[in-house]
Each structure stands twice: as structure tokens, then as C-alpha cells.
Amino acid sequence: MSEKLKSLQQYLEKMNRFNHVANLLYWDLRTVAPKEGFERHADAMTYFSTEAFQMGTSEELGSLLAELSVPEEYEKLDDKWKFVVKKMKEDYDRDKRIPKELYERFVRAQAESEHAWEEAKNTSDYAVFAPHLKEMIALTKEITAYTDPDKEVYDALLNQYEEGMDSATIDHIFGELKKELVPLVEQILAAKEPDDSKFHGSFDVDAQAKVQKMLLDYIGFSWEKGAVGTTEHPFTLNFSSKDVRITNHYYEDMPISSMFSAIHEGGHAIFEQNVNPEYDGTIAGSCRYMGLHESQSRFYENVLGRNKNFWLPIYEKLGELLPQFKEITLDEFYREINHVRNSFIRTEADELTYCFHIIIRYEIEKAIFREGVSVEELPALWNRKMQEYLKITPANDAEGILQDMHWSGGSFGYFPSYLLGSIYDGMYLEQIEKDLGSIDTILAEGRILEITKWLNEKIHRFGSTRTPKETLSAVCGKEVTAEPIIRYFKEKYTKVYGLEK
Amino acid sequence: MSEKLKSLQQYLEKMNRFNHVANLLYWDLRTVAPKEGFERHADAMTYFSTEAFQMGTSEELGSLLAELSVPEEYEKLDDKWKFVVKKMKEDYDRDKRIPKELYERFVRAQAESEHAWEEAKNTSDYAVFAPHLKEMIALTKEITAYTDPDKEVYDALLNQYEEGMDSATIDHIFGELKKELVPLVEQILAAKEPDDSKFHGSFDVDAQAKVQKMLLDYIGFSWEKGAVGTTEHPFTLNFSSKDVRITNHYYEDMPISSMFSAIHEGGHAIFEQNVNPEYDGTIAGSCRYMGLHESQSRFYENVLGRNKNFWLPIYEKLGELLPQFKEITLDEFYREINHVRNSFIRTEADELTYCFHIIIRYEIEKAIFREGVSVEELPALWNRKMQEYLKITPANDAEGILQDMHWSGGSFGYFPSYLLGSIYDGMYLEQIEKDLGSIDTILAEGRILEITKWLNEKIHRFGSTRTPKETLSAVCGKEVTAEPIIRYFKEKYTKVYGLEK
């Protein structure tokens, strides 16, 4: 191995340790640390993150990457290190173009904006958040002009979260979805609603935690390489492929919520646990593409978890853990986990109307960055779009434009990832059925781990080394298309709701 | 504030952050981290501990302490900083006298010795551990000759864990205890044993965790400044007075075990949570005297927790959480938590025979360091002493001399702390009854938090700023004496076992 590569490895090793403890401090703050311990934890987190960030933008790292990028050095590297050096250099050069003063201004404004958003949401007062949102939009534009001078700003943002994606592609595939789903959802909402009364009441939270354990075992989560915690909002966090953690929140009166959070975060975790361990400690490990990541969590949550046969082998066990489910038939349960409602909150939406929640946000982001719609106009725009797609109008901005925190932190262009994930899922489903046969049969026969294995081999093990585009091409042999997910939605919900074809 | 003090504070701030994350890595490794995550966690822990250790012995710190120790600077410091500078300088000078090569040899030998002990214990094969024990004894002697050149080695070791304590004092007080307890325990063991059959069976571990929560609330543990975890062996760990954590282990068939572990670790935690928060981040905070620390955990566990009236206000609640306890009367429970048995394992011993477990270890440590008894002779010596004090002989070394890990890590002189803690407890009990009235009445009336408050004010808030000797003098107005704990033992157990006075 070349001396230069050895130096880079040593450099990464040290930087990783700082990131490792910053990550751990974050995990602990969310899952364990008591209230009064917050300050010292936060102080240490700031210190170690800042140190890691400085290592990630240091002149020393820049030189190491530059030296390894000259052809005679680069050609000596193996595939993994070629990927790492190339991507790190791109990231480094891009980040380096941001003036330090601008970056610091962004970090400060972000903290203030997130804080203001919290207050605005709690009091449903958009005016509290509006000036901060304006500032985050302005700073995002300013930064993007440095990082991606050759790209249109919104396309640059999309590309940051899902490499290779652009608004022309999304316009097309979201357009197809809209065309088909608007009439489908209209038909469903006109049909008879299932009775959900059995799903209210008091469901023991310790038992819900046992259900989570059962579900994670079932889908192939590894406890040798994973752990769970409890937080306000569920998330997944990974230190390496060997230590991937998820969290959940158990609501006493909403047992289905923690089940599907477990399956969703479990999907993220199974991805990370199965990345080639040789990529650990480099940017080749841990998937950096948000749409691709969501495609895994949503595949488990929706395509598998909301299939009736997913529950067939474990439904009796569910009744043993949560006795109220003994009084609920699998058919009733299946109807409820596919209960389509025109509701206000994205994170509580069903699989189908979820698409509209994302399309609304995507269209608003385009309005902001491309059509120059002002911050003042956004709540009205939001409400018009809710009416257009879901035929409802939020009673206030807390259940409208203020519900998600993404924009407060400057994460513009992130939302489409969720729906892209579902679109990829339709494509995987089609391919899996070609490769392994009917998914209904596989699930009914309790062979779900064969699907996990397929995903491991086709997607997970590559970590970040394949872009979403490359993944789709290698796995499904084609470009992104919404056609399979549309077919899936139509077939499934026509049956669930007994609609005319 | 002087510039020099400011420099020291900044230095400590940075050093604390490294210790903070090393501590957090330890906590997480024990409570959450999955098996395969061990390696990276351990690597980070080694890195940050080593960095912190180097900061604690650096020339830079030495100069800062030396500069602040010259009279004109020292006299300008407030009491807290006088204590910090004086003690840190003592520690620094002492540690500095250890040759680096010797210290490194010790660290390596310690890791190997702990590993060998584990194997020896698992296979009950003393021969596996003996050469390592020999090495740890030799290295301890060698190091102590540098750190405490003017002290006899065993006295130096005792003083390391309990400042101001020496073997002459311990000989005297342990002698008093032996004189009185040997006949008392003989009488008890000849009496009728209580029936413990109701305490076996299957006790839900989730419910045991709820009992722990109830007990911690009851004795005054703060959840704003504390958290709990689950581990193989219970322990307490503190980041500062504002973040103190305890762990527990829930055995399905031993519900009393987790209750008393909760109260014991809760006592350690209440101490740390109530240290003056201004001492946080310096050696004035967090009590460094092991006997004084144990005096708090054991006061809660034994003097309070094994008093019948401690349970009076909460016994019904206990039955609600663990329904089997509805079938057990408080009298039956009280007999069981004060069930005296001549058993082999220290950590499972009752309050009374526990004293002998410590005395045996103390006498063996003296035999090693003062009488030059060889490592080969120790198992036989152990077994003779078990026979002498407890009238039983271990079937093998795993339940004999190999049961505790202390010696494998070189912690010689630590064991007496446990019993010193109980001896102090007798003195506090006497003083509390003078100050607040009968402890039986206070407990029966559900006013236990008045006792916690008394301990907060008299002991906890001082952290490390008062040595054990100074504490006893300030709180009880006298030197250490076993007389009160002996009286407590005799009165209590005469009643519990209905013995002739």
C-alpha cells in the first residue's frame, strides 16, 4: 500500500473517532441523558463535531486527497479507495468553496431558525417562523451558488440528497403518479370506510416493545449489530455496519404506530447492517442517498409490512403479546393498516395519500426556488394545494405548513426522497417477483428472509458505492419509472376497497 | 480572577470533555452497544482515555499547578480552587514519580491479569490466575514505593482508597466487630431459619423495573439529574452532579436482588446528585473516598432498606406492581430481607455476615503485603478463614478466592472500604436519631426524604472537599468507632431472630 494512502487512512481513523463520539453523544442525548445533563453533553457534542468538521475541511486533508488524485497514484488504488478518494475530493472541493464566514452564518441562522420553528409550531404562529424561513432560503441560495455554480439552484438541492436526480425527471414521474392517483383516491374516499374502533384503547407499552422485538427478528434485523432505544420521534443512527441503532415511540392508544415505525426504521437498519463491512469508516459505507435509503425503509414498511401475508405467519404471536389483537381478525387488521384517509399530517398518512403530501411539498419548493413565490404567500399556497389534492383545508398552520421541521434547518429538496423511495420500491417489487416468484407466496410461507437476502445482495452491500441511478440500472435494468408502483397501488387498493376496475 | 487560574480552568474544560466521552463510551458499551460494535467503541475509549490521561500528567498541567501553588497566587484562590489546586498537585506529583515504563507495564499486566482471572474463575482453576496475581502484587509494591516512599505499603494502599485511613485503626475497629459478631452470628445460625419458599418463582422483569422506579422516587433519586440502564452487574457512573446513572440486573427468580441493588446504587447516585454543582468538572466534585461513598449506598440499602418501616408506606404499591407480593406479608418480607446465612459469595451476603466476608479479605491482604504469605498459600488461607468465621468451606476456588475481580486489577486495599462504610453508617444513624428523632418513626410516617435531606446537607454537598475523617468529625463530632453499628446489629437481630439478650 502506498505511503500516501496509509496517511489518508490514519487521518480518517482519527477523524472517525471524533465523529464516533459526536454521534454517540447525539444518541445518548436523545435516548438516555437526563434533562440537566443536556448542557455538558451538548457542549461536548459541539466540541467534537466542530473538531471533526475542521478535520474534514483541513488543508492537510486537502493535500492528501490531491496527492492521491494524480493519475499515477489514483490508478494504484483498489475500487473502494478509488471511490473514497474521488467522492471525498468532490465533497472537499465543494465544501471548500463555501466562504468560512458564510458557513458560520448558516450554522447560527439554522439554530435560530429551528428554535423559532418549534415555537411557531407550538403556537401555530407562522409569523414567528417567516423571517427565519426567508433567511434560510436566502442562505441556501447563497451557499448553493458557491457549491454548485453550474446548476440551477433547485436541481442542485435535489442532487445533494439524491445524486443524479433532477426536477425534469421528478416532474415526469410525479406527474404520472398524480394522473393515476387523484381519481383512485377519489374513488376510495367515496367508498365505505372501515371501522377502526377496535384499534383504540390502552395497549401496554412494554408489550409494544416486545412486538417490536418480534417484528425486527422477523424481518432480519441483527441484534449482534444493532440496538434499540426510545425517543420522541423514531430515527436510525449508525456508527458502522456493526452498530446500527433504531428508536421508537410507543403510544399507549396507537399500537399500530410503533409496529410500523419498527418495520420502517428496521428497513433503514437492515440496509446499514448489510453494507460491506470493508467500507466501514469511509464514505463508501453508510448509504448517503436519501431516496435510496427511504426505498428500503418504505419497502419493508409498505410493500412488505402492509401486505396481508406479511402478518400471516406471526399474527397469532401478535395476539399473544398484545391480547386485544386476539379479538381482531387478520382481515380487520389488514383493512386498518391500509385505511386511506385524507388527513393533514404527513407522518401519519397512509401509503397512498402520502404521495400527495410529498407532491405538495415538492411543488412548493419549486415555487420558492424557481418561481420566486414569497414566504408570505406560502401558507395560502399550502392550503390551496391541500384542497386540490386531498380536498381538505388545515384549521391552522401547525397542522399545515408548520408541521415538518425540514425547511427550518434548510433541508430544501429533501422531501422528494421519500416518494422517490416508494417509486423505486415498485420497481424492486417487479424485479423480485421475476427473480423469486410471487411475493404473496413468499410471505405466506414465512420466507421473508429470502427477500431480505435479495435486498442485501442487490442493494445493501454496495453502501454508497452505487448511486440510485446505477442501482436501478443494475438491479432492474432500467431508468426510474413510476409505472410499477402505480400498478401496485391500483391492484392493491381496488381489492382492499372492493372498487370497480 | 487570575490569568493563571483561567488557564487552568480552560485546561480542565478540555480534559473533562475527553473524560466525558470516555465515560460515555464505557456506559454505552455496558448498557446498549451491540456485540459487534464493541471493537470500535473500545478503540475510541482507549484513544480518549489515553488522551485524557496524558493531559492529566502533561508538563503543561504541571507548570500551571506549580505556578498556582506559590503562596502569592495560592492565597488569592477561593476555598474551592485552593482544594482543587492542592489535591491536583498532590496527585500530579505522586503520579509523576511513577516511571512511565513502569506505568505502561502495569497497564499491560492489568489487562492480562483481568483476562486470566475471568478464565480462572470460569474454570475454577486458580493456577491460571496465580502468576498474574503474583505479578500484580509485585507491580503494586513497586509502584507504591514510588508514589508513597514514606509509607508502609499496605497502609499506603488503604490510604489511596480512603484518605487518612490506616491498618492500625482498621485492626482496632474490625477487632471490636469480630469480638461481638462472631457469637451473635453463631446464635443466629443456631436459631430457626425463616421459610423463603415464597420468594422463588417467576417475577416479571418489566415489573421489577417498575419497582426500581418506585423505590428510586421514594428515596429521593432525581430523574432530572439521573437515568438508569440494565447491565450484567449493577454500577453507578456520574458525568457531573447533573447526570448520574445507575444500572441494575433483573433476575426473574430473585426479585429482592434488583430491589436492593436499586436502593444501593440509588444511595451512591443520591450522593453524587447532591454534590455542590459548583464543584462539577473539578476533583472537588464526585466523592473520591470509597469508604465514604459506600457509607451512603449501604446506609440506604441496609440501615434504611432493611428496616421494616421503610416498606410500610410502599408495601401495598409493591404488591400492585409485583402481584406475588400480595401473598407475602410485610413480616414475612422483613424476615427474608434480613435472612442471615453463612454463604460463600460476598455480593449475595446478608448485612451481618457481609462483615466477615470483608474481614477475611482484609486479613488476607495484610498477609500478602505485610507477612509475605505466598500466592500459592492463599487459597488454603482463604478456606481456613471461611471456616473460622463462617464455618463453611468453599467446594472450589470459583466460589472461594476467585469470586471477586478486585485483586486481578491490582485493587488491593479496596475491600475494607465496604465495611468502613457500614461502620460510618452506625455513627450516622446515632447522629440522625439525635437530630431528627427515631428513624423507625420517620420511616413509618413516610418522611424518608427528611433523612435524604439530612445526608445532603451533612455529607453529600461537600463532594470530595472533606475527607472521611473530617466528615465524621464534622457530622458526628468524633473519631471512627464500631460501637454504634455493633449496637445496631445486636438490637436488630436479637429482635428479628427472637434471641435471648
Which of A43, A243, A250 to probe the B interface (max B CBs under 10 A)?
A243
Domain boundary among B116, B150, B184: B150
Q: Inter-chain contact A37–B206, Cβ cutoff 8 Å? A: no
List the single best residue of A25, A31, A35 to mutate versus B (max B Cβ within 10 A).
A35
Question: B156 to chain A, minimum CA–CA distance in Å?
Answer: 35
In angstroms, the separation between the Cα of residue A226 and the nearest Cα of chain B is 5
Give yes or no: residues A281 and A424 share one domain. Answer: yes
Let me know whether A194 and A132 are in one domain. Answer: no
Query: For residue A501, what pLDDT is reported?
Result: 66
Q: Do A243 and B33 touch (CB under 8 A)?
A: yes
Q: Do B34 and A225 touch (CB under 8 A)?
A: yes
- To the nearest 5 percent, what fractions of chain B are helix, strand and coil? 70, 5, 25
Taking Cα atoms as reference points, which of A100, A310, A334 lies closest to residue A194?
Answer: A334
Three-state DSSP class for residue A150:
coil
Q: How many angstroms away from the CA of B14 is the closest CA of chain A? A: 9
Alpha carbon separation from B17 to B25, B70, B72, B441 (Å, rounded)? 12, 28, 31, 46
Residue A275 falls inside a structural domain: yes
Same domain (yes/no): A144, A193: no
Q: What does the DSSP assignment read for B68-126?
A: HHSHHHHTTS-HHHHHHHHHHHHHHHHHHHS-HHHHHHHHHHHHHHHHHHHHHHHHT-H
Task: Please state, for a pLDDT cut of 90, what percent of chain A lies above it.
Answer: 97
> Rounded CA gap, A1 and B437, in Å?
76
Q: Which residue of A has its CA nearest to B273?
A: A36
Last residue of a domain, one of B81, B115, B150: B150
Q: Please indicate, yes or no, whether residues A20 and A97 belong to a single structural domain of this protein.
A: yes
Does one domain contain both A26 and A142?
yes
B317 in the same domain as B254? yes
- At B153 the pLDDT is 97
Q: Does B279 touch chain A (CB under 8 A)?
A: no
Structural Rg of chain B based on CA atoms: 23
- The verdict on A334 and A407 lying in the same domain is yes
d(CA B317, CA B326): 10
Report the amino acid identity of residue B158. Answer: L
Q: Is residue A227 part of a domain?
A: yes
Any idea which residue has 488491593 for its cell?
B412
Residue at B401 is within a domain: yes
pLDDT at res. B500: 78
A300: which DSSP letter? I
User: In angstroms, rounded to a whole number, what is the distance separating the alpha carbons of residues B462 and B353?
Assistant: 32
Q: Quick one: A120 and A228 in the same domain?
A: no
Cross-chain CB nearest to B242 (options A31, A36, A48): A36
Catalytic residues of B: 265
The whole-number pLDDT of residue B240 equals: 97
Taking only the tens place, the pLDDT of each residue in B55-101 is 999 999 999 999 999 999 999 999 999 999 999 999 999 999 999 89
Instruction: Please check whether residue B162 lies inside any domain of the structure.
Output: no
Point out the residue among A21, A226, A227 whose CB comes nearest to the CB of B48: A21
B306 shares its domain with B420: yes
* Contacting residues for A5 by C-beta, under 8 A, at least 6 apart: A68, A77, A81
Are residue A181 and residue A330 in the same domain, yes or no? yes
* 3-class secondary structure, B248: strand
Inside any domain, residue A155: no
Interface mutation target, options B9, B32, B245, B280, chain A, most CBs of A under 10 Å = B32
- The count of structural domains within chain B is 2
Find the closest chain A residue to B205 by CA distance. A206
pLDDT single digits (tens) B166-182: 999 999 999 999 999 99
Tell me the CA distances in angstroms from A78 to A2, A37, A75, one per residue in order: 11, 45, 8
DSSP 3-state assignment of B149? Answer: coil
Q: Could you tell me if residue A429 is inside a domain?
A: yes
pLDDT (tens place) for every residue of chain A, 501 residues total = 789 999 999 999 999 999 999 999 999 999 999 999 999 999 999 899 989 989 999 999 999 999 999 999 999 999 999 999 999 999 999 999 999 899 989 988 998 999 999 999 999 999 999 999 999 999 999 999 999 999 999 999 999 999 999 999 999 999 999 999 999 999 999 999 999 999 999 999 999 999 999 999 999 999 999 999 999 899 999 999 999 999 999 999 999 999 999 999 999 999 999 999 999 999 999 999 999 999 999 999 999 999 999 999 999 999 999 999 999 999 999 999 999 999 999 999 999 999 999 999 999 999 999 999 999 999 999 999 999 999 999 999 999 999 999 999 999 999 999 999 999 999 999 999 999 999 999 999 999 999 999 999 999 999 999 999 999 999 999 999 999 999 999 999 999 999 976
| Same domain assignment for residues B142 and B171 | no
Residue range of the domain that includes B199: 167-496
Domain shared by A87 and A212, yes or no: no
Tally of CA atoms within 13 A in the half-sphere of A373 that contains its CB: 14
Q: Please indicate if any CB of chain A lies within 8 Å of the CB of B205.
A: no
**B285 touching chain A per CB within 8 A:** no
pLDDT given at position B100: 87
A272 catalytic per annotation: no
Distance in angstroms (rounded) separating the CA atoms of residues A220 and A455: 11
Count other C-beta atoms under 10 Å from residue B8's C-beta: 21
A225 contacts in chain B (CB < 8 Å): 34-37
CB contact under 8 A, A243 and B36: yes
Which residues in chain B land under pLDDT 70? Answer: 501
A44–chain B Cβ distance below 8 A for any pair: yes
Q: Which of B103, B124, B150 is the last residue of a domain?
A: B150
Chain B residue numbers touching A44 (CB-CB < 8 A): 17, 20-21
Residues 6+ apart with CB under 8 A from B142: B102
- Complex ipTM value: 0.93
**Inter-chain residue contact B243 with A36, CB threshold 8 Å:** yes
* CATH (domain of B485): 1.10.1370.30
Q: Is B40 an interface residue toward A (CB < 8 Å)?
A: yes
